[in-house]
Amino acid sequence: MSWPIKLRALSFLVTMVVTVTESVMGSIPIGLALWYFDVASIRTIVIALGAAVAAISLSISGYSHLRRAELPRNMVRGGAS
C-alpha cells in the first residue's frame, strides 16, 4: 500500500522548496567569499552555485520520494496504536 500520487507529488514539491531554500541560504556565504576575493565573476558564481543547488535539492528529494513508500504491516491491518 502506498500514498496516492497527488499526495506524493505535493510532498515532493514541498521537499524541493525546502531543500532549495536551504541550499541557497548555504551557498550565499560561499558566493560572497568568491566574489569578495575576486576568484570568479558574479555570472560564473551564480551559474556554478545554481547547478550545485539544483543537484543537491534533486538528490535529497529524489532519494526520499522516488522509492516505493511502504506502510508498516500493523498499519495496513488496522492495528496502529
Considering only CA atoms, which of 64, 48, 58, 57 is closest in space to residue 23?
57
Q: Which domain holds residue 58?
A: 28-65
> How sure is the predictor about 75, in pLDDT bands with cuts at 50, 70 and 90?
low
User: Is 77 within the bounds of a domain?
Assistant: no
Q: How confident is the model at residue 55 (pLDDT cuts 50, 70, 90)?
A: very high
In a domain, 43, yes or no: yes
Q: How many domains does the structure of the chain reveal? A: 1
**What is the pLDDT at residue 62?**
87
pTM for this entry:
0.73
Residue 4 belongs to some domain of the structure: no
Q: Which residue has the higher pLDDT, 51 or 62?
A: 51
Average pLDDT, the chain: 86
Instruction: Centre a 10 Å sphere on the Cβ of residue 50 and count the other Cβ atoms it contains.
Output: 13
Query: Per the domain annotation, does 81 fall within a domain?
Result: no
Determine, yes or no, domain membership for 76: no
Residue 80: pLDDT over 60:
no
In a domain, 38, yes or no: yes
Would you put residue 30 in left (φ > 0), alpha (ψ -120 to 50) or beta?
Answer: alpha
CA distance 74 to 32: 51
